[in-house]
Amino acid sequence: MTTRVIANKTVAVNEEGFMTNPGEWTREIALELAKEDGLPELTPDHWKVIDFCRQDGLASGKAPTLRRITSMAGVTTKEMFALFPKGPAKKVAHISGLGKPEGCV
């Protein structure tokens, strides 16, 4: 494992840049990671999904899949792709400080 500084905080990340300790995550880190992922701002709809993923991921020990997000968070697949283009489950997991979802390339 390696570390990097995000939003003035040193955090542990894996070789793909996913945080390895969800407890180190902050909303400020989420904002920085979102910018890196091509999202200049996070709307209340983004935060709804991020907050769901954080709660679900911390409870289960793994990032939720796209199917789980769309069935449990009240967001359609189309909305997920609009909010988090090009790989929404992977992108929201990254921004949420969780590991890469199972089944993501």
What tens digit of pLDDT does each residue of 58-69 get? Answer: 999 999 999 999
Listed by start position, the domains of the chain span: 2-95
Of 31, 32, 55, 104, the active-site residue reads 104
Q: Is pTM beyond 0.85 here? A: yes
Active site residue 104: yes
Task: Kindly report the three-state secondary structure assignment for every residue of the chain.
Answer: CEEEEECCEEEEECCCCCECCHHHCCHHHHHHHHHHCCCCCCCHHHHHHHHHHHHHHHHHCCCCCHHHHHHHCCCCHHHHHHHCCCCHHHHHHHHCCCCCCCCCC
Question: How many other CB atoms sit within 10 Å of the CB of residue 60?
Answer: 11
What pLDDT score does 89 carry? 93
pLDDT one-digit tens code per residue, 71-96: 999 999 999 999 999 999 999 999 99
pLDDT at 105 over 60: no
How far is the C-alpha of 44 from the C-alpha of 23, rounded, in Å? 22
pLDDT one-digit tens code per residue, 9-37: 999 999 999 999 999 999 999 999 999 99
